[in-house]
Chains A and B, each alone.
Chain A
Amino acid sequence: AQKVTQAQTEISVVEKEDVTLDCVYETRDTTYYLFWYKQPPSGELVFLIRRNSFDEQNEISGRYSWNFQKSTSSFNFTITASQVVDSAVYFCALSRTGGYQKVTFGTGTKLQVIP
């Protein structure tokens, strides 16, 4: 069975601070995909990143960066210089590879950026 744990339920930071959202996963599969999605108050889920399990390179996209550590089964997400528009619920997710597989979501971390 697959499982995704986001231990941080809610985080509040002051604008311009850096913040890291933790994600730990469990799977018996040797290959898998990891995802991060953002859900702003409007409700729509916005895709942020997909990472294949064989690619352990860290990735940076603007103010966003992701740290994938297979040894600790973690896929953490860091927002640098946070902005009020970053306020949202962030979901980490996991799926098998091969065909179109269903996704297992974590419980989400609500991030509030205070101006």
Chain B
Amino acid sequence: GAVVSQHPSRVICKSGTSVKIECRSLDFQATTMFWYRQFPKQSLMLMATSNEGSKATYEQGVEKDKFLINHASLTLSTLTVTSAHPEDSSFYICSAVGTSGGLAVHTQYFGPGTRLTVL
């Protein structure tokens, strides 16, 4: 299967600061990346869909000015949590689909996740 990495795996920050999370596809070209948020013992909640080179599409209820997404290349998407507050503490997971060797990769492959704690 395809490999997706995320960095950092864990971050603790003070309230009011901004945090950037990187999502990279290591062995395929990620045309589309998805960002999810997961609260403890709950399912994944899709936050936004980002296509390479274009603006992200946010799900209803997700603040686009708070969760900035950039997908500038076929291997990298970033999620920036701006002016983070304790309620933003969560597990953030990215996934990617795209092409590998000219073949479409429809299955979403997930990164290992980033655990954000805002103090």
Q: For this complex, into which size category does the number of interface residues on chain B fall?
A: 20 to 34
Interface size, A (range): 20 to 34
Nearest CB of chain A from residue B12's CB, rounded to whole Å = 16
Chain A 27-48 interface 0/1 with B at a Cβ cutoff of 8 Å (1 = within): 0000001010100001111110
Q: B110 touches which one: A45, A107, A108, A110 (CB < 8 A)?
A: A45
The answer to the question of B8 belonging to the interface, with a C-beta cut-off of 8 Å to chain A, is no
A100 touches B44 (CB 8 A): no
Task: Encode B4-41 as 1/0 by CB contact (under 8 A) with A.
Answer: 00000000000000000000000000011010000001
Knowing A43-B112, A105-B44, A107-B43, the reply to whether A100 touches B97 (Cβ < 8 A) is: yes
B117 to chain A, nearest CB (A): 14
Closest chain-B Cβ to A110's Cβ sits at a distance in Å of 8
Task: Report yes or no: A43 in contact with B115, Cβ–Cβ below 8 A.
Answer: yes
Smallest CB gap from B109: residue in A: A47
Task: Please indicate the chain A residues that have their CB under 8 angstroms from the CB of B1 in the complex.
Answer: 47
Residues from chain A with Cβ under 8 Å of B109 in the complex: 47
- Interface assignment of B107: CB less than 8 Å from any CB of chain A: yes
Would you give the shortest CB distance from A104 to chain B, in whole angstroms? 8
A77 at the interface (CB under 8 A from B): no
Contact between A105 and B43, CB atoms less than 8 A apart: yes
Q: Chain A residues near B93: list those with CB within 8 A.
A: 43, 45
Measured CB to CB, the residues of A under 8 A from B are 33, 35, 37, 42-47, 50, 91, 97, 100, 102-103, 105-108, 110
